[in-house]
Chains A and B, each alone.
Chain A
Amino acid sequence: MQRFPCPFCGPRDEREFHFAGEADKDRPDTTQDISDEAWADYLFNCKNSCGPTREIWVHFPCQEYFIMERDTVTMSVAGTTSVRKDLT
């Protein structure tokens, strides 16, 4: 069992967390015309890095969304940061 550090609750059982997607994707400006390719690129394509990665996760019990930096080979977690804007 691995523990992930929730920025709000602290270290908790991995089963309480859900992988929500890769971080740092730029959403196309949907007020403009976007090509099918650009939209599909945003929706589906991902880096899926082998090694250090930045991802968006959610901690279900407290609904905190946060960035987790971890390594996809060693599974070690470098750190987590909340994405709540009112914190900064």
Chain B
Amino acid sequence: MTRSYSAFNILREGLRGHKGWAPLWRSPDPKPEYDVVIIGGGGHGLATAYYLAKNHKISRIAVIEKGWLGGGNTGRNTTVIRSNYFYPESTRLYDLSVRLYEKLSREINYNVMFSQRGMMVLSHSEAEMEIAARTVNAMRLGGADAELLEVKDVRKKAPILNFREDARYPIHGAIWQGRGGTGRHDAVAWGYARAADGLGVDIIQNCEVTGFLVEGGRCKGVETTKGKISAGRTGVAVAGHSSVLAEMGGYKLPIHSYALQAFVTEAIKPVMDTVAFSPMTGSYFSQSDKGGLVIGGGLDRVPSYGQRGNTPMQDTVLSGIVEMAPALAKVKLLRHWAGIVDVSPDSSPLIGPSGTEGIFINCGWGTGGFKAIPAGGYLFAHLLATGSHHDISRPFDPSRFPAGRLLDEAAGSGIAH
């Protein structure tokens, strides 16, 4: 069976009618015991398993997924990858992710189609331009790339936008991150799954966790629809449903679940080769390689586990797009959907011990979990392997709430998630 992807193997398999390709991963039955069990087969869970096996040489790892791989938020986002945050702690975290994404396709021999087409955050007034300059400086000090664009630079990069002087939100400039861009969301899940499986990780789909095995206050494993599984340490990466697992595990979280919607239009000719976000309208869009515009915006305002959106937010997001690029007003929507995201009080993730011994959490990524998959996995693997934080994840420990050391990125970078 052919496992590795290369020009030579594609040619060889082409000549053999593509009959020799190996499945990307096995579908094993769960073993009774593992060193580490990870709940959640989305991007974060699969990346965690991969880095646990690769960086920390842990041999007995299982990923347990109640549905199918990447069927939650990993398959429901708008695929934007960026690190344009305000606080140095956040920039270190998200830029680690961008750096890992930059070498990911080569590292795992699977094309995640990370296209560094750049991301712009528009400014609509002189006052916003001053704040934009502050953000650019903060990003650079934090080690990420950032540039302040004047309106003529914005026009050159994205001529489809609304440059009329009588626009309700006239464009004065933008924060530009050239290393930002988009990736292929399913490929990230599948690529990490294939790489983890290649290192011996058992990926168990259609297996729901129904409880934790807690003895004397310590978690010794999980109960699942496929039986009991013992675990040395258990990691929970189940964005959207983090609170449901918390209740089972006897720990508390500062998380609210909300629906976040996204939209794709019919395919049109290339009109946009970057990502543009307007904080004033709250909407953003990019164009996929197939030609569809991929559109996103803010959260629905009603806490929900319903995995579907409501109409007021559709109004808001789509009117925002029409304001940003009036020429797109008549483009038809092809489909839209919603994912359930974890919203934390300071719009920053929670990585750390859960409060119940033996259970560790990776949650609270809000609307921006996809871009953080490599870093989330890398840091969560470090935590699960060693029992202590990597320097980059330490500020995101849940103990920041009683300590009052919040990392309020909703206020810091003006990005509402």
Contact = CB atoms under 8 A, between A and B. Distances in A.
A48 B303 CA distance: 8
B386 interface: no
A73 B345 contact: no
Contact of B257 (A14, A44, A48): A48
A18 B300 CA distance: 11
Interface in B220-259: 241, 243-244, 247, 252-257
18 contacts: A2-B310, A14-B302, A14-B312, A15-B301, A15-B312, A19-B303, A41-B252, A43-B345, A44-B401, A45-B254, A46-B243, A49-B243, A50-B241, A72-B303, A72-B306, A73-B304, A73-B305, A75-B306
Contacts of B310: 1-2, 14, 75
A46 B304 contact: no
Contacts of A45: 252-254
Contact of A18 (B257, B301, B404): B301
Given A19-B302, A45-B252, A48-B303, A36 B403 contact: yes
A48 B255 contact: yes
Interface in B306-352: 306, 310-312, 345
Given A44-B401, A45-B253, A50-B244, 11 more contacts: A1-B312, A2-B302, A2-B310, A14-B301, A14-B312, A19-B301, A46-B253, A48-B243, A51-B305, A74-B306, A75-B302
Interface of B: 241, 243-244, 247, 252-257, 301-306, 310-312, 345, 401-404
Contacts of B256: 46, 48
A55 interface: yes
A1 B253 contact: no
A55 B403 contact: no
B402 A72 contact: no
A40 B303 contact: no
Contact of A75 (B255, B301, B304): B304
Nearest to B343: A48
A37 interface: yes
B398 to A, nearest CB: 9
Interface string A28-67: 0000000011011101111111110101000000000000
